[in-house]
Amino acid sequence: MLYSKICCFISYGYLSLVMTHDLILQNISKHISLNKEETDYFVSLLRFKKLGKKEIVLQEGQLCRDISFVHAGTLRAYYIDKAGKESTIMFAVTDWWITDMYCFINQRPAMLNVEAIQDSSIFQLAKTDLDTLYTNVPKFERFFRIIMQNAYIREQLRVIENLSLTAEERYHNFLVKYPQVVKQVTQKQIASYLGITPEFLSIIRANKGKKPIS
């Protein structure tokens, strides 16, 4: 009877572990397939962390050691200029990855700050473990290559939009591209991402569907 209870407890614990990692494994499976041994090894490298609202994950000047997968909640990365002005560089909602990519890849002090916008939880993967992962499970090179390519494409398109579109057009595109983000962040944070003041964003929203602002 005791043996049976122990087996049930172990099975339940294993099931809970699998359920805990389901989302990140589904994310991985979009681009590569893993067997059980590869899955177990990958999971063993992850560190789970719960975050409170406004808790800092990465601070400017701190060595950027990790890339984070958002298990639940919403994070944002932002830059603070010499005048103390914040510019939001990126958001990350559930099922997205986030880091200061340049500093993560090159293992340099962070240029960005990464914080939780709301109570959140993340899985973190250290750069040293990622390098080991590439050696032991080479197919992960394909996965992270795709992730980084997509991030580069997204940022290039954003730069082009900033150069060629009005603030109204950029705001409309943001609403269309990232409806899941819009629900989780403040208008002030959206304005920071678009490079405009919250007051001007309020004018754009009030003017929605009317004659474009000149």
- 2-163 belongs to which CATH class? mainly beta
Residue ranges of the domains in the chain? Answer: 2-163, 165-208
Q: Are 114 and 77 in contact (CB under 8 A)?
A: yes
Residue 6 phi, psi (nearest 5): -65, -45
The contacts of residue 156 (CB under 8 Å, 6+ apart) are none
Nearest Cα neighbor of 47 from 146, 153, 121, 152 is 121
- pLDDT tens sequence for the chain (214 residues): 433 433 443 333 333 333 489 999 999 999 999 999 999 999 999 999 999 999 999 999 999 999 999 999 999 999 999 999 999 999 999 999 999 999 999 999 999 999 999 999 999 999 999 999 999 999 999 999 999 999 999 999 999 999 999 999 999 999 999 999 999 999 999 999 999 999 999 999 998 755 555 4
Residue with tokens 């678009």: 194
Q: pTM for the whole thing?
A: 0.85
